[in-house]
């Protein structure tokens, strides 16, 4: 058998398809009580990158020439920049937190990140939920649109699961 032949019993092959940014969606829980619902973070947002910020434990043992490092935790954060779009529920949450100078748990919002290229079952996509504190930074940058900036900082552990983009429901994985 040639070295390059597939020796597995499955017919699955890699597609090597490039994942585009729009295929990674984020949703924020907006509203309160019975009216609370996940809303797409999109319209108005010009930047929404996540930094994992790993925490390391580094040491050098006496019998090593080099240091040894391990990841012992994470401090995830998401920077944001958004144009103020009236009527967009996510933007309005950011505006309310910023303008009212909310503090403590009043700034906490659940965010679900959805890998739209990874359909687990019909209509259900691989997703990860975490609670973040909204930390406002600036208001009014620029001379055209009104822009708010800040950072979302993790206040909970990540919960893996699936997300239905039609019903906007998150289902945690069974542990």
Q: What is the pLDDT of residues 50-108, one digit of tens each?
A: 999 999 999 999 999 999 999 999 999 999 999 999 999 999 999 999 999 999 999 99
- Alpha-carbon dihedral of residues 87, 89, 33, 37, nearest 10 degrees? 120
Percent of the chain clearing pLDDT 70 (strictly above): 93
Looking at residue 13, its pLDDT comes to 72
Looking at residue 49, its pLDDT comes to 96
- Residue 169's beta-bridge partner residues? 164
Confidence of residue 14 (pLDDT cuts 50, 70, 90): confident
Quickly list H helices, the chain: 89-99
Confidence of residue 3 (pLDDT cuts 50, 70, 90): low
pTM: 0.87
Looking at residue 5, its pLDDT comes to 52
Q: How many CA atoms lie within 13 A of 91 on its CB side?
A: 18
Query: Are 79 and 49 contacting, i.e. CB atoms less than 8 angstroms apart?
Result: yes
């Amino acid at each position: 058998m040639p070295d390059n032949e597939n020796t597995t019993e499955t017919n699955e092959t890699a597609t090597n398809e490039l994942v585009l940014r729009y295929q990674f969606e984020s949703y924020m829980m907006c509203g309160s009580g019975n009216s609370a619902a996940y809303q797409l973070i999109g319209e108005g947002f010009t930047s929404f990158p996540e930094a994992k910020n790993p925490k390391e434990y580094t040491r050098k043992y006496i019998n090593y020439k080099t240091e040894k490092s391990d990841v012992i935790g994470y401090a995830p954060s998401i920077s944001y920049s958004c144009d103020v779009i009236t009527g967009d529920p996510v933007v309005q949450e950011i505006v309310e937190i910023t303008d009212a100078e909310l503090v403590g748990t009043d700034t906490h919002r659940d965010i679900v990140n959805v890998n739209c290229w990874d359909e687990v079952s019909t209509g259900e996509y691989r997703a990860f939920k975490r609670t973040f504190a909204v930390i406002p930074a600036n208001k009014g940058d620029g001379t055209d649109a009104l822009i708010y900036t800040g950072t979302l900082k993790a206040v909970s552990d990540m919960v893996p699961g699936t997300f239905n983009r039609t019903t906007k429901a998150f289902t945690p994985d069974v542990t």
